[in-house]
Amino acid sequence: MPSLTEAIAVTHASLLVGATDWCSHPADLDVTRVRGTKNPDVELVRELAPDVVIANAEENRAADLDALRASGVPVWVTAPTTVAQSLDSLDRMLGAVTGEVPRWLGQAREVWSTPYDGPRRRALIPIWRRPWMALGRDTFAGDLLQRLGIDNVLAQSSERYPKFDPRDLPEYDLVVLPDEPYAFAADDGPEAFERPARTVSGRHLTWYGPSLVTAQAVLTEQLG
């Protein structure tokens, strides 16, 4: 999980022995790569002999985590669906793994401690194209946007990531297009919708880790 890798690397980089191919932060991270979150090289992970593997319930497959546990490798699984839960989860994880609660985590708590009291907008937040999929119920990114005055128009969906038809949607004011997991851009995404669109940093919208310190300022500017 890239955000968890970044959280440990920024706090105590020497503790990391491996990371996925998608773990891009910090930029100078130099550890063994174990493929992706959905297709990890389980045998290579075993060979690295970690004291613990840090995973995310949504990003990592249960079968891979079970295989690691079966071979004696402890696994710590995170599953926050709100900003508050993510901060508490990071506090527990970093305290157990690194033995310290880093300064950046306190800064992130301070940044997100003040409730938003400005005007609100209803937004569609696509995360994939072909087929179209968006944020639905109970998502970390949806909660983060809510704290910035952006209410997810599909928050009451029965699914966390529902498919949708751009021609058949509830009323909304804005389209929020992150650059991951699908790489939406100014020329790939906005043209499909009749409402104004904003392209934003997927890392600041969906990662929970050191990026939370600057996410509020970055996204507020990008959302306009």
Q: For residue 100, what pLDDT is reported? A: 87
Could you tell me if 135 and 152 are in contact, meaning their C-beta atoms sit under 8 angstroms apart? Answer: yes
- The neighbouring-strand residues paired with 163 are 133
Could you tell me if 54 and 8 are in contact, meaning their C-beta atoms sit under 8 angstroms apart? Answer: yes
d(CA 3, CA 86): 11
d(CA 96, CA 15): 12
Q: Residue holding tokens 């079970």?
A: 66
Residue 183 CA: distances (Å) to CA of 91, 139, 178, 180, 202:
30, 19, 7, 5, 9
d(CA 22, CA 1): 8
Q: For residue 221, what pLDDT is reported? A: 98
Sorted by where each begins, the domain ranges of the chain are 2-79, 121-223
Q: For residue 9, what pLDDT is reported? A: 95
Could you tell me if 140 and 80 are in contact, meaning their C-beta atoms sit under 8 angstroms apart? Answer: yes
Per-residue confidence in pLDDT tens, the chain, 224 aa:
899 999 999 999 899 999 999 999 999 999 999 999 999 999 999 999 999 999 999 999 999 999 999 999 999 999 999 999 999 999 999 999 999 889 999 999 999 999 999 999 999 999 999 999 999 999 999 999 999 999 999 999 999 999 999 999 999 999 999 999 999 999 999 999 999 999 999 999 999 999 999 999 999 999 99
Q: For residue 149, what pLDDT is reported? A: 98
Q: For residue 85, what pLDDT is reported? A: 98
Q: Determine whether domain 2-79 maps to CATH 3.40.50.2020.
A: no
Helices in 125-175 by DSSP H: which ranges? 140-146
CATH class of the domain whose range is 121-223: alpha beta
pTM score, two decimals? Answer: 0.93
Q: For residue 1, what pLDDT is reported? A: 84
